[in-house]
Structure 1
Amino acid sequence: MKKLLTVLLCCVLASCASPDVEQYAAEKPALSLQDYLNGDLQAWGMFQDRSGEVIKRFHVKMTGTWEGDTGTLDERFTYSDGTTERRVWTLTRQPDGNWQGTADDVEGVAQGTLAGNAFHWRYTLRLPVGGRTWLVDLDDRMYLVDDNVMLNRAVMSKWGFTLGSITLSFYKP
Structure 2
Amino acid sequence: MIRLLAILLLVMGLTSCGNVNVGRYADQQPQLDLERFFSKPVKAWGIYQKRSGEVIKRFEVDISSRREGDRLILDERFLYSDGSRQRRVWTLTPTGPGLWSGRADDVIGEALGEVAGNALRWRYRLNLQVDDSTYEVTFDDWMYLMDEDTLINRSSMSKAGIELGQVTLFFRRQAGDMP
Within 5 Å, which residues of 2 pair with 1:100-111?
100-111=101-112
Q: Secondary structure at the match of 1:28?
A: coil
Q: Is 1:43 the counterpart of 2:40 in the alignment?
A: no
Structure 1 CA distance for aligned equivalents of residues 14 and 59 of structure 2 = 33
Matches within 5 A, 1:136-155: 136-155=137-156
- Please list the CA deviations of residues 24-72 of structure 1 after superposition, one character each: whole Å capped at 9, or x if unmatched: 0001110000100223110000000000000000000000112453100
How far the C-alpha of 1:20 sits from its partner, in A, is 1.0
Q: Give the distance between the partners of 1:8 and 1:68, measured in 2 at CA.
A: 49
Residue in structure 1 matched with residue 177 of structure 2 by the alignment? none
Say which SS state the counterpart of residue 99 (structure 1) adopts: strand
Deviates most, 15-24 or 78-87: 15-24
Task: Name the SS of the counterpart of 1:65 in structure 2.
Answer: strand
- Cα gap change, 1:56 to 1:75, in 2 (>3 Å): same
The corresponding residue for 1:34 is: 35
- Equivalent runs, 1:101-140 vs 2, <5 Å: 101-140=102-141
* RMSD over equivalenced CA pairs, Å: 1.8
Offset of residue 19 of structure 1: 1.6
In structure 1, the residue matched to 2:19 is: 18
In structure 2, how many angstroms separate the alpha carbons of the residues matched to 1:127 and 1:46? Answer: 16
CA distance in 1, matches of 2:163, 2:107: 19
TM-score (norm 1): 0.93
Given that 2:98 and 2:116 are in contact with CA atoms closer than 8 Å, whether structure 1 keeps it comes out as no
Q: Which residue of 1 aligns with 2:55?
A: 54
Q: Secondary structure at the match of 2:56?
A: strand
Q: Which moved more, 1:158-167 or 1:9-18?
A: 9-18
Normalising by the residue count of structure 2, what TM-score does the alignment of the two structures yield?
0.90
Question: Identity, % of aligned pairs?
Answer: 49
- Whether 2:130 is the aligned partner of 1:156: answer no
Unaligned runs of 5+ in 1: none
Please give the alpha-carbon distance, in whole angstroms, between the structure 2 residues aligned to 1:109 and 1:34.
19
Q: Which residue of 2 aligns with 1:87?
A: 88
Aligned residues: 173
- Is the CA contact (8 Å cut-off) linking 2:106 and 2:127 kept in structure 1? yes
Larger deviation, residues 53-62 vs 16-25: 16-25
Runs of 4+ in 1 over 6 A off after TM superposition: none
Q: Give me the whole-angstrom Cα distance separating, in 1, the residues matched to 2:17 and 2:92.
A: 27
